[in-house]
Amino acid sequence: MNYTSFLLSILIFLLTASVHGADVFVSPSEGNDRNNGSEASPFKTIDRAAQALKPGDTCWLRNGRYQCETLMEGIHGTANEPITFKPCSGERAIMDGTVKLEPRWSPWKNRIYKMKLNEPVWQLFCGSKLVYVARWPNASFEDGSIWKMEECMRFTDRTFKKGEYLGKTTDGVICDRNPTPHTNDSDDEGDVKLDVRGNINQTTLEETGVDFTGAIAVLNIGHWLTWSRPITEHKAGQDWFEYDRTGTRMSKYVAYYILGLPALDRPNEWWYDAKSKTAYLRTSDDRNPNKLPISGKVRDFSLKLYDCSHLVFQGLEFFASTFSMNGCEYVTIEDGSLLYPSTHKFMLGEFGWCHETSSDSNKQKNHKYKSSANVMTHVVNDGEGPFGNMVRNCEIAYANSPAINIDSPGSILENCYIHDIEWDVNSGGGSGSVPAGPGAIIRCNTVHSGGNSEGIRPGKGSVVEYNRLWNMGNLQHDGSAINIGTGAQTGTLIRYNWVHDTNRQGIRFDSTTSGMGSEGCVHNNVVFNLGQGGSKFKGDYHLLFNNTFYDSIFAVPNGYGNTPPHNQNTLVCNTLADVMVAWSTKKPDEELNARQEKNITGTGVVAEFLRDPSNLDFRPKPGSTIIDAGYAVKELPSDKIQVELPPFIGNRPDIGAYEAGDSNYWIPGRKKQTASTPIPPNGAIAVKQDADLMFLPAYKAEKHIVNFMNAAKDHKGRIELHGGNIIDPGELRSAQNYTWRVDAVMPDGSVIEGEPWSFKVE
């Protein structure tokens, strides 16, 4: 080899090393931080590995539980060479916030065991199964009662009539009563529907015969505000109690429940007494806990990032802990999961509402103090951004706080499955199940089952698109699945979302009694199955177009409180709605202030003009008069509205959220590893004979293969789709059963087989 060839070989080696970076390994069980970080000699902690990483490097995490808090400060990759953290192939990196409790339990009473602990814990698990905090009334995820206010909460004698509060219940005092059925037919936004069934939750406080003094009352007494406070006075057989009213205020609607040792009365419940440092536990099936894998939560965060940039975390599994980002840029968390990531510390005497963390109040200052407050997953930045942080393709499940706060302009929450959020509501107005700051992008997420009165609540200039939400706002009064606050409406864009089957409003532009918002845009959304609930757009200078409201109310108010007239400069067009009013159905003939163009409203119009809305096909019927019958928006109500008007087919837009003739049927929500959201829905029994087959494509799939057949197997087909998601199966036979399946072909050529779906033609 001559000298030139030798130099060229060295150059190629250096370039290759630069492109691929170095590999550093971490093993929580076999590593040592005095090792060199190689595969054969891994580090023990991610903290130590981070010190050795350079742009372009990869930190490989070996199988195991990482039971410590990892703090990274000032770790920077580059745009072209990010630093990546991910599990080794086929292995799992579990960021675990628990410690195993020693088997030192001793019997106490009533099949309850107790044990003194060396350090406080504020959440308990048997294996990976949550142990419920002792409560009255009892409730669970298993039977769904934990999301039904009329089953998991108690009510009071407080009523409101002609401007006067009636009953014994007042600030500092709760007087109990049973829940009673309620249809929610009032025009008060704080009112809720109550579906009271049989004898469920019909035992009164007096009838329990329990003295709850010293327990904790969780009090939804401020509509969208809930506080938890110690019960200061109560006696067994008494239908009222007093609580510490510090920092609280009581409004019209009141509901509550109680947490505490006096409520520990069923299997799979526990309590921790901070004064005596004693845990109390009754296990599932009343087994001896000394023979079970019991663990307790001892830390909030497994990963804390400060002033970091261009980092990628792939495939991390957070259990009973979570992550935080403060002052970071272009950091991505993806393809991971957060199971039980956060919860309150009521048992430790912490009653403050959930925030990022008490030590982060000054963002980057004093950040090394250990937080003892009630905290949540968060991505936070000061300044206007964009900061480019991203949480993508993750599951966030069973967070007993808001799921995640994206208070980072220009940052993204995308393709996440967020569910079962905040069953002990401990956050106030302006939070939500998914709160976000200004300029956030929230797209392609599935969000369901939340306790907070609000679901997605972004800041000013945000984009909320292609999300699917249901069963939201369950444990507070007032609220909406997508709620835009007074100061957040300017420049905010809400589009291509489905909101349905929820006990609160669907989409709302809110206002206070003294101020209103303006200059927001809502288009091409479908809100359905809300009954007397609906969507309400307060404020002015809004653009509301091409939305569909099926079995739902669309309200464009003329005013609210002491604010100036609302919506005098708002444009409402191309709406298809079963009900369209100014405020509520109690005043159906009130004229709207807003300018209206080409809206069609009236009982049953959605089902009349659309193909099959009961089976999620919201397209116009072939030949329908709503095709090309809409208004083409030419001028915006304000130049602060941030929207690129969507194209339409034909001479003018259609009326409603979908355009006839489109080769793609947009379906919101998280894309899974397999094709999902079949239309017609799996198990549908009254499908139209001219139905198309449609689906939500698999995540990152390159193409799809669709197979379908009828029960007799004499009508079948196989279609390969390189784009689009609509299949014409031909005319379907009446009363016939059909099955179909969509397989996803990935970029590497692998095929992910979908689950079989079925439907029956009417």
Residue-wise pLDDT tens digits, 37-46 = 999 999 999 9
Q: Average pLDDT in the 82-95 region?
A: 98
Q: What pLDDT score was predicted for residue 620? A: 99
Return d(Cα 310, Cα 328) in angstroms, integer.
9
Q: What pLDDT score was predicted for residue 77? A: 98
The structure tokens listed for 68 are 């410590």
Return d(Cα 97, Cα 371) in angstroms, integer.
14
Return d(Cα 652, Cα 631) in angstroms, integer.
7
Q: What pLDDT score was predicted for residue 370? A: 36
Q: What pLDDT score was predicted for residue 427? A: 79
User: In the block, which residue shows the tokens 């979302």?
Assistant: 497
Return d(Cα 121, Cα 297) in angstroms, integer.
5
Q: What pLDDT score was predicted for residue 9? A: 46
Counting Cβ atoms within 10 Å, is residue 484 exposed (0-12), middle (13-18) or buried (19+)? buried
For residue 585, name the pLDDT band (cuts at 50, 70, 90).
confident
Identify the sign of the CA torsion 736, 607, 665, 492: negative
The single-letter code of the amino acid at 131 is V
Counting Cβ atoms within 10 Å, is residue 172 exposed (0-12), middle (13-18) or buried (19+)? middle
Q: What is the pLDDT of residues 264-298, one digit of tens each?
A: 999 999 999 999 999 999 999 999 999 999 999 99
Q: Average pLDDT in the 221-232 region?
A: 95
Q: What pLDDT score was predicted for residue 50? A: 98
For residue 532, name the pLDDT band (cuts at 50, 70, 90).
confident
Q: What pLDDT score was predicted for residue 186? A: 60
For residue 372, name the pLDDT band (cuts at 50, 70, 90).
very low
Coarse DSSP helix, strand, coil percentages of the chain, rounded to the nearest 5 percent: 10, 35, 55
The structure tokens listed for 183 are 């249809």
Q: Average pLDDT in the 117-124 region?
A: 98
**Cα–chain center distance at 761:** 34
The structure tokens listed for 173 are 């005092």
User: Can you give the pTM of this predicted structure?
Assistant: 0.94
Q: What Rg value do the Cα atoms of the chain yield, rounded?
A: 28
**Domain chopping of the chain, boundaries:** 99-296, 505-670, 676-761
Identify the sign of the CA torsion 368, 372, 378, 380: negative
Q: What is the pLDDT of residues 701-715, one digit of tens each?
A: 999 999 999 887 877
Q: What pLDDT score was predicted for residue 14? A: 44
The phi, psi pair for 618, rounded to 5°, reads: -100, 20
Return d(Cα 357, Cα 354) in angstroms, integer.
8
**3-class DSSP state of 467:** coil
For residue 109, pLDDT over 80 is answered with yes
Q: Exposed e or buried b for every residue in 377-402, given b needs 16+ CB within 10 A?
A: bbbbbeeebbbbbbbbbbbbbbbbbb
For residue 362, pLDDT over 70 is answered with no
Q: What is the pLDDT of residues 682-696, one digit of tens each?
A: 999 999 999 999 999
Mean pLDDT lowest for which of 205-219, 366-380, 713-727? 366-380
Residue 137: strand pairing partners: none
The structure tokens listed for 499 are 């909101």
For residue 358, name the pLDDT band (cuts at 50, 70, 90).
very low
Pairing of the two strands 58-61 and 64-66: unpaired
For residue 365, name the pLDDT band (cuts at 50, 70, 90).
very low
For residue 187, name the pLDDT band (cuts at 50, 70, 90).
low
How confident is the prediction for the chain on average, in pLDDT?
93
**3-class DSSP state of 652:** coil
The single-letter code of the amino acid at 579 is V
Return d(Cα 643, Cα 491) in angstroms, integer.
8
Q: Average pLDDT in the 583-597 region?
A: 93
Q: What is the pLDDT of residues 610-649, one digit of tens each?
A: 999 999 999 999 999 999 999 999 999 999 999 999 999 9
What is the rounded end-to-end Cα distance, in angstroms, of the chain? Answer: 79
Distances (CA, A) of 223 to 56, 104, 429, 448, 504: 50, 44, 9, 21, 12
The structure tokens listed for 53 are 């990483």
User: In the block, which residue shows the tokens 């990482």?
Assistant: 66
Percent of the chain with pLDDT over 70: 94
Q: 676-761 adopts what CATH topology?
A: Immunoglobulin-like (2.60.40)
Q: What pLDDT score was predicted for residue 640? A: 97
Q: How many CA atoms lie within 13 A of 580 on its CB side?
A: 24
Question: Which helix or strand (DSSP H or E) is residue 558 part of?
Answer: none
Higher pLDDT, 80 or 372: 80
Q: Rounded to the nearest 5 degrees, what angle is found at the Cα of 681, between the Cα atoms of 680 and 683?
A: 110
Pairing of the two strands 154-156 and 269-273: unpaired
